[in-house]
Amino acid sequence: MSKLLQVENLSTTFYTEDGMVPAVRGVSFHLDYGESLGIVGESGCGKSVSCLSVMRLIPKPGEMTADNIDFEGKDIVSLRERQMQQIRGNDMAMIFQEPMTSFNPVFTIGYQLQEAIRLHQKMNKHDAKEKSIDMLRQVGIPRPEKVVDNYPHSLSGGMRQRAMIAMAISCQPKIIFADEPTTALDVTIQAQILELIGELKEQTNTSVVFISHDLGVIAEMVERVIVMYSGIIVEQSDISSLFSNPKHPYTIGLLHSKPRIDDERAKLKPIPGSVPNPLDLPQGCPYNPRCEYVMDICRNKLPDMYEIDKNLHQARCWLYA
């Protein structure tokens, strides 16, 4: 597999009335062709902002900087807005968490699908409509020729998320960013949507970046995982060693916070305290106030990513220095 996307030292900062909020602080990762990558972390850890930054969708007064974001030989950071528009939607697409708010309520589903199709593919109105019906059928929406003229409010949450996926895949993108695509859905509907995303990925060999706070969903959907905390990557690994051999104390803490299916009465071991305020980050490793293995050096200096298993598994923790 070769690299489709390479992100180096990405930082995104928001300027608020209360001060500077460093949402993402020096994040580097890559994505191969046809790969599925998971980004896991709790709210505010910077997982969504990282992806929005790669798509250059950070609104002002937010600011994004990076040494390099290479997408198939193009440097995303230095592209003009017009060129970026060509990439967005066409080569990279996004599936948002809340399908209720991510559709425009005053236009029909079909109109919004056709808008995306016609913007990126030279097609007349009639063909675009045909294509949008076809896309809706592909994502398993019953009676697509009817639904295409429906407004978003008349669809259920699961159906709306299917329509969202139809829109995302309508231009055969190379990367799909799925930002908590099932968080707002019920378990049985979540199972439907996860199966659909998995199937579509198989068929089209699209690369998927799967953002979630749910380790279970991540375990089922991806090959490789990035764990984020307070705007930095704390651990990076292939899926099986992350769950069998987690290294960073935060990852270990997260895993102990969820009840295990195999071990019924294993006590939950929560992480004490809460996520640090981004306006007032602790010195050194951001996890140090909650970490049970904390050492003096953790309070002074942010550790590098240390290799656990060459090229497969890295952790940002002084324990492995």
The contact set with other proteins (CB under 8 A) reads: 42-43, 156, 158-159, 186-192, 194-195, 213-217, 219-220, 239-240, 243, 253-262, 264, 267-272, 274-275
**Cβ atoms within 10 A of the Cβ of 15, count?**
12
Closest CA to 225 of 36, 79, 93: 36
Smaller CB separation from other proteins, 189 or 305 = 189
In whole angstroms, what is the distance from residue 283 CA to residue 228 CA? 17
Smallest gap from Cβ 146 to other proteins, in A, equals 16
Sign of CA dihedral 205, 7, 75, 169: positive
Nearer to other proteins, 66 or 254 (CB): 254
- Residue 2: CB atoms within 10 Å: 7
CB of 216 to other proteins, least distance (A): 3
Q: Within 10 A of 110 (CB to CB), how many other CB atoms are there?
A: 21
Q: Cα(248)–Cα(258) distance, rounded to whole angstroms?
A: 16
C-alpha distances out from residue 46 to 62, 88, 183, Å = 13, 20, 17
Which CB, 191 or 312, lies closer to other proteins? 191
Alpha-carbon distance of 320 to 179, in angstroms, equals: 31
* Cβ atoms 152, 98 nearer than 8 A: no
Q: Take residue 315 and report the two structure tokens written for it.
A: 């952790």
Cβ closer to other proteins: 26 or 276? 276
Select 72 or 214, whichever has its Cβ closest to other proteins: 214
Q: How far is the CB of 137 from other proteins (least distance, A)?
A: 16
Minimum distance of other proteins from residue 22's CB (angstroms)? 19
**Least distance in Å: CB of 246 to other proteins?**
11
Least Å distance between CB 313 and other proteins? 14
Residue 245 beta carbon to other proteins: minimum distance, rounded to whole angstroms: 12
**Cβ nearer to other proteins, comparing 170 with 190:** 190
Cβ proximity to other proteins: between 260 and 299 the closer is 260
283 Cβ contact partners less than 8 Å away, ≥ 6 residues apart: 299, 300
Contacts 24+ apart (CB under 8 A), 214-218: 214/40, 214/183, 215/40, 215/243, 215/254, 215/255, 215/258, 216/258, 217/182, 217/190, 218/38, 218/40
